[in-house]
Chain A
């Protein structure tokens, strides 16, 4: 039994930690995204929640520094969102997977620089994937390709804004983690 337990890559403790962080991601998106739901600006939703998503994803990796933590956290967070639209589940999990790939690329090392990159990668990949999926699958409710490329400046603001806010959030998470070091 013990061998079986040791063989598991993610322990129960890891799953619980990731799930609580996923709940926090869900709460943050519930608070921020509805406020800008009807605003026709590319990437406005990722801009609204970018800072907080950056904080939470960095804290997730700080607590569960394993490849797959990003994918599982975003998957668990976006599963209840599948009731709203299955597309949300797909682009959120895809962004989480990209963050995992980045984590693997930087050699699973958590320094201030690499942690800052976690939020940047998450939000920087989420925005284009979400916009593209919206334009492909639900052009009735989301912005179409023509709307997206009508003003490339708005698109660039949406993309770089999300990326910078994600990075800023993750950088903030390193400060928070330092302040709460006594707790750990």
Chain B
């Protein structure tokens, strides 16, 4: 049986993310921030995708690191928890956003009449964040093959990280610009193969999530 994914419409996602961020950022109550993170986790679980627990665990490790650093520097437990949970919320929301397929996001933004040039730039950023992280990872791995002490730390940063990364940036941008030029992007109005209208279930999910989020923030 062909199941329809439970994914929320991209515009609904954008609105909900802005709402959660607007309500969650001024809040420093640890309990409320934890509940907001739980809400985003539920939304993430409803979104079909691979390796979700592993990714969430990685993000949580980063937040734990920030918690430790803030605790060491600031020496205040509530502030450290607050900073780590704010980061966790931000990372979970960005994970939720960045799991949206580019094609779906494109259709969503096109329906808002975003100019084609800006749309192209935004989509490249959106797609290339993952690609550049992978590039950084492979460059770091290649650098780790060097014998220890062969280069001083700043020299190693320059030779083994900056230079290869900039080179890859140039190569990737040239390949992509060639591909965009060969497809004659911007020559005519773009049409859509498959429509992605906002459905009733998107509106219901949006309204329920917004209400839950508001309830969490304003509860005593």
- Chain A residues engaging chain B, CB cutoff 8 angstroms: 1, 5, 8, 10, 12-13, 15-24, 26-27, 30-31, 34-40, 55, 59, 63, 72, 76-77, 79-80, 82-86, 138, 140-141, 172, 176, 179-180, 183-184
Contacts and interface: CB of A to CB of B under 8 A. Distances in A.
B37 to A, nearest CB: 15
Nearest to A21: B169
Given A1-B187, A26-B125, A37-B87, A55 B162 contact: yes
A23 B98 CA distance: 13
Centre residue among A19, A24, A30, A39 by max chain B CB count within 10 A? A19
A76 B87 contact: no
Interface residues of B, number: 58
B186 interface: yes
A23 B14 CA distance: 19
Query: Interface SS of chain B: helix, strand, loop or mixed?
Result: helix
A34 B130 CA distance: 17
B166 A59 contact: yes
B121 A15 contact: yes
B66 A26 contact: no
Interface stretch (B18-26, B197-205, B207-215): B18-26
B93 interface: yes
Contact of A176 (B65, B122, B166): B166
Interface string B82-103: 1110110011011001000000
Task: Count chain B CB atoms within 10 A of each CB in A59, A80, A140 and give the residue with the most.
Answer: A80
A38 B70 contact: yes
A27 to B, nearest CB: 5
12 contacts: A16-B173, A21-B169, A21-B173, A24-B169, A27-B129, A31-B136, A34-B66, A37-B70, A79-B125, A80-B97, A83-B93, A184-B170
Give me the 8 closest cross-chain CB pairs, A-B, nearest first: A38-B83, A38-B70, A19-B124, A23-B128, A20-B173, A16-B177, A19-B121, A76-B121
A19 B80 CA distance: 35
Contacts of A179: 163
Given A34-B62, A38-B73, A38-B83, A20 B128 contact: yes
Interface of B: 14, 17-18, 21, 25-26, 28, 62, 65-66, 69-70, 73-74, 79-80, 82-84, 86-87, 90-91, 93-94, 97, 117-118, 120-122, 124-126, 128-129, 131-133, 136, 158, 162-163, 165-167, 169-173, 176-177, 180-181, 185-187
Nearest to A83: B17
A37 B186 CA distance: 40
A16 B86 contact: no
B26 A84 contact: no
Nearest to B187: A1
Given A38-B69, A184-B170, 11 more contacts: A16-B124, A22-B125, A26-B129, A35-B66, A37-B87, A38-B66, A39-B73, A59-B166, A76-B122, A80-B125, A83-B18
Contact of B163 (A30, A38, A176): A176
A15 B70 CA distance: 39
Contacts of A23: 124-125, 128-129, 131-132
A16 B131 CA distance: 15
A147 B213 CA distance: 31
Contact of A141 (B25, B73, B126, B171): B25
Given A27-B133, A35-B66, A18 B177 contact: no
Given A24-B169, A34-B66, A34-B87, A176 B26 contact: no
Contacts of B28: 140-141
A16 B69 contact: no
